[in-house]
Structure 1
Amino acid sequence: MFSEIGQLIFDNESVAKTQDFNMGLEIEMQRVDETGELSREPYPAAAGDEQTNPWITNDFLETMSEVVTPAASHALDAMHYLYSLNNALRAALSPGELLWPLSMPPRLPEDKSQIPLAKMGPKKEAYLKEWVKRHGFSAGTPCGAHINLSIDDHVFEMVYEHMQDRFPDRVELENYLYAIIAQGFLRYRWLITYLFGASPIAEAGYFNKGEAPDHPVRSIRQSSHGFGTKFKGDYTNVQRYVARIEQGAKDGTLISDYEFHGAVRFKGNQNLSDLPKTGVKYLELRMLDLDPSSSVGVRTNTLRFIRLLASYFVMTPALHPEEVEKVMTRADEMNENVAIEQPDAHCQYEAAARAMLQRLERYANQIQLGPEYQEEIQDLEERVDNPFNTLSARLMTHVSHNSLAAYALKRAKRYQDSALQTIRPFKGFNNKRNLSAEELKAELFSGSWMPDSGLQ
């Protein structure tokens, strides 16, 4: 089962380190009023400066709030950061404001000009205006859960020490490992869409007449009806990834290299052209819809599954370079097919989904992960066996008059009430203070549970 690198990691008893991915989370949610309309309230002052606060900001719209966590060593740590920051944002909202828990936006007005784009400085605002001209207003409004994933430094050190004949420097190794993880996630994006897709319908005003799917689907956001540009990246290696994006910006297909919002993005340098020589430092995974059954938009078990997948991709054989483009094209087709399936229909790739989960279960057993991973895989296998257990199918039971607004508002009010009952409300962003990661941790958790405690 193991690749050459995977066997090396296994033989050197470093398998556990392949699970120790540093993980940061970025969760977008729209601010709405109690009727389910996009909020007309200004950006919440108690959330700090929207242009400079690295932990709470906005994206695309003034109403699209984004919570960003520091990188954490364990899934549970990342969730504690997220929960605390989410509560801080909710506490900062104006009376009557709520956070919309669905990926697809609430009903949009006919006159979109009354909804302000994010106020993120002249350069970003000019970019957003051009983006709207090219793609339309609605395409920028879906929200999601983004996961930033970086490999434990010990893995790089150990592999590079034993394989310097193959990798001339450590940057080459870093780029290689991140490329094969990216390929793995893109190859099995369809499975993630099946298991975690949660955007079966859109509210009024999202689609123009005649553009909507003719039936509910698993994930509008993850389909061709979803977010933004359909520009395809090249994930063969980091150099080709950069070259294709730069070519897209040069020929005008992209406004700039910033516009590339693929399901996976290589991150690590502000200047994209320098990325191949400075090295990828983490991956941004952009393939999760918001999970409305969680107040923070994602569940801990989902993060564990993502980490298990990433570890599996590190440890098992990679695609041959000449196969990557063909496999990625096929994977995009499979994801589209799954995304537009009826939420309660059996997946057309059901056998492949079951086989992959069984492979992951064997892998988890082989490297002796804890029972929580076995339990999560078993729960996901039940979603494959019975599509009524998927998030999207469950959401369909709450549809009333072709809308999920009543369900979304009920959830939003419940989560808001819970957040406002916090014993020690966070006030660290008052006076537009910009906190470092260490300062944030100290202020969020002083006198209580502290992240990076070694729990998983």
Structure 2
Amino acid sequence: MFSEIGQLIFDNEAVAKTSDFTMGLEIEMQRVDETGQLSQEPYPAAAGDERINPWITNDFLETMSEVVTPPAAHALDAMHYLFSINNALRTALSPGELLWPLSMPPRLPKDTSKIPLAKMGPKKEAYLKEWLKRHGFSEGTPCGAHINLSIDPHVFNLVYDNMHDRFQSKVELQNYLYAKIAQGFLRYRWVITYLFGASPIAEENYFKPGEGPKAPIRSIRQSSHGFGNKFHGDYTTVQRYVDRIEQGVSEGKLISDYEFHGAVRFKGNTNLKQLPKTGVEYLELRMLDLDPSSSVGIRTNTLRFFRLMASYFIMSPALKPEEVNKVVARADDMNEEISTEHPNDISAYQASARAFLQRLEMYADRIQLGPEYQEELEDLMDRVENPLTTPSAKLITHLKNGSLTEYALRRAMRYQQSALQSIRPFKGFENNQKLSPSQLKHQLFKGSWEPDNDKDQE
């Protein structure tokens, strides 16, 4: 089960560190009015300046709010940050405004010129205008949940100290392990789409007449009907990842390296060319639809599952370099097939999904993870065996005249009312100051909750 690196970690009783990832979350949601139309209200003043506030910002449209958490040492800490910042955004909304809880946008206006692009400064606004020309309005409107994941430094130190002969520098090891995890998530992205896909239909005016799926599917957003550039990355190594994106920019297939929206992105140096030399610092995982059963779009158990997967990928044998692109291309085809299946149907890949979850269960047993992981795996296995328990299948039971608007508004109003009953609404963004992670923590929690300090990044 273990690779050479995995065995080294296991023998040194450091397995816990491989699942002890630092996590940050980025959750996008559209602002809407009480009829389910994109909001005409200005950006909420109490949310601060969207151009400089790192914790509440905008993406693509002025109505597309993005909540960002600081890196946190534990899934529960990340969720506490997310709930608190999400509440801060909700209490900043204008009367009658709501946050749309679904990945696919509400009914879009026929005249989209009334919905302004995000006001993020001249450079970003020029990029968004060019993106709009190339892709069209609809394609930029789906929202999702992104998980940022970084490996505990103890893992790098242990492996590097024992494997000098294999890695010439710690940066080389860093890039190798992050590439290995990225390959794992891309290889099994189809499992995530099956288990967590939650965008079965599109509302009015998203597709042109005659386009789009003819019946509900598991995930429009994760399918070829979904968001973004269809440019394929190369995840064989970090250097090849960078070279491929730069090639895309030079050939005009990408506006800039920022436009590469693969399901996984290597993050670190903002100058992409320097990334292989300075080292990947974290992965951005971009394969989750919003979970409408949570007011913040994601659940703690989902984060645990992602941590378990990442830990398993660190400890398991790596793909051979010459196999990476072939395996990822096949996984992309499987993801397309799964994302376009009817939500109520048993997947064509049920047996493969079952086998993967069983392997994760064996791994969790071997490294003696807690009962919360076993419970989550049991729940997810139920989804594999019974597709009616998947998020998309549950959603289509709420369809009314082919629309989820009534359901989405009911959820949105409930979540909004709950936020407005907050005992101590957060006012820390109103003066437009840029809060550091430690300032944010102090102002958000004021001693009522103490997230782990060890991994705060200033």
User: Does the alignment reach a TM-score above 0.5?
Assistant: yes
Distance in structure 2 (CA, Å) of the matches to 1:143 and 1:257? 20
1:28 aligns with 2:28: yes
Alignment match, 2:261: 261
Identical counterparts, % of pairs: 76
How far apart, CA to CA, are the structure 1 residues paired with 2:209 and 2:37? Answer: 20
Distance 2:265 2:447 in 1: 37
Query: Match of 1:8, as an amino acid?
Result: L
Cα deviation per residue 1:285-307 (whole Å; 9 max; x = unaligned)?
00000000000000000000000
Amino acid at match of 2:419: A
Alignment of 1:289-368 (within 5 A): 289-368=289-368
C-alpha deviation, 1:333, in angstroms: 0.2
Corresponding residue number in structure 1 for 2:385: 385
Cα deviation per residue 1:88-136 (whole Å; 9 max; x = unaligned)? 0000000000000000000001111111000001111110011011011
The letter for the 2-side match of 1:108 is: L
TM superposition shift of 1:4: 0.4
Partner of 1:408: 408
State the match for 1:141 in structure 2: 141
Question: In structure 1, how many angstroms separate the alpha carbons of the residues matched to 2:11 and 2:202?
Answer: 50
**Matching residue of 1:246:** 246
Instruction: Identify the residue that residue 15 of structure 1 maps to in structure 2.
Output: 15
Q: TM-score, normalised by structure 2?
A: 0.99
Render the CA deviation track for 1:422-454: whole Å, top value 9, x for unaligned. Answer: 111110111111100000000001131221289
Map of 2:188 onto structure 1: 188
Instruction: Map 1:35-54; keep pairs closer than 5 Å.
Output: 35-54=35-54
Give distance in 2, aligned partners of 1:257 and 1:433. 29
CA distance in 2, matches of 1:441, 1:164: 39
Task: Note the 1:40-119 alignment, pairs <5 A.
Answer: 40-119=40-119
3-state secondary structure, aligned to 1:285: strand
Runs of 4+ with >2 A deviation? none
Q: Deviations over 1:224-258 (max 9, x none)?
A: 00001100000000000000000000010000111
Secondary structure at the aligned position of 1:432 is classed as coil
Quote the Cα distance in structure 1 between the aligned partners of 2:183 and 2:211. Answer: 31
Say which is worse superposed, 443-452 or 390-399, in terms of deviation. 443-452
Partners of 2:449 and 2:115 in 1: CA distance: 40
For 1:125, what is the secondary structure of its paired residue?
A: helix
Give the partner amino acid of 2:76: L
SS at match of 2:431: helix
Q: Which residue of 2 aligns with 1:285?
A: 285
Show the counterpart of 2:373: 373
Cα distance between partner residues in 1 of 2:179 and 2:54: 27
Question: Which residue is equivalent to 2:167?
Answer: 167
Q: SS of the residue aligned with 1:258?
A: helix
Query: Bigger CA drift: 146-155 or 425-434?
Result: 425-434
Q: Which runs of 5+ in 2 are unaligned?
A: none
CA distance in 1, matches of 2:170, 2:450: 33
Which one-letter code corresponds to 1:317 in the other structure? Answer: P
Aligned-partner Cα distance in 1 for 2:209–2:176? 45
State the distance in 2 between where 1:318 and 1:420 align.
48
Q: Which residue of 2 aligns with 1:211?
A: 211
For structure 1, the residue ranges without an aligned partner over 5 or more in a row are none
Classify 1:134/1:164 alpha carbon distance in 2 versus 1 (closer, same or farther; 3 Å): same
Structure 1 residue matching 2:288: 3-state secondary structure: strand
SS at match of 1:65: strand
Q: Residue 280 of structure 2 aligns to a residue in which SS?
A: coil
1:9 is displaced (CA, Å) by: 0.2
1:431 partner SS? coil
Partner of 1:224: 224
CA distance in 2 between counterparts of 1:145 and 1:420 reads 23
Q: Residue 43 of structure 1: CA displacement?
A: 0.3
Distance 2:204 2:223 in 1: 18
CA distance in 1, matches of 2:431, 2:443: 15
How many Å separate the matches in 1 of 2:214 and 2:398?
Answer: 19
Q: State the distance in 2 between where 1:344 and 1:385 align.
A: 11
Q: CA RMSD in A?
A: 0.7
Distance 2:298 2:96 in 1: 24
Offset at residue 12 of structure 1 (A): 0.5
Provide the secondary structure at the position in 1 that maps to 2:266. Answer: strand
State the secondary structure of the residue aligned to 1:220.
coil
Taking the aligned partners of 1:125 and 1:12, their CA distance within structure 2 comes to 50
Q: Deviations over 1:208-228 (max 9, x none)?
A: 112111111000000000001
| Aligned counterparts of 2:57 and 2:256: Cα–Cα separation in 1 | 22
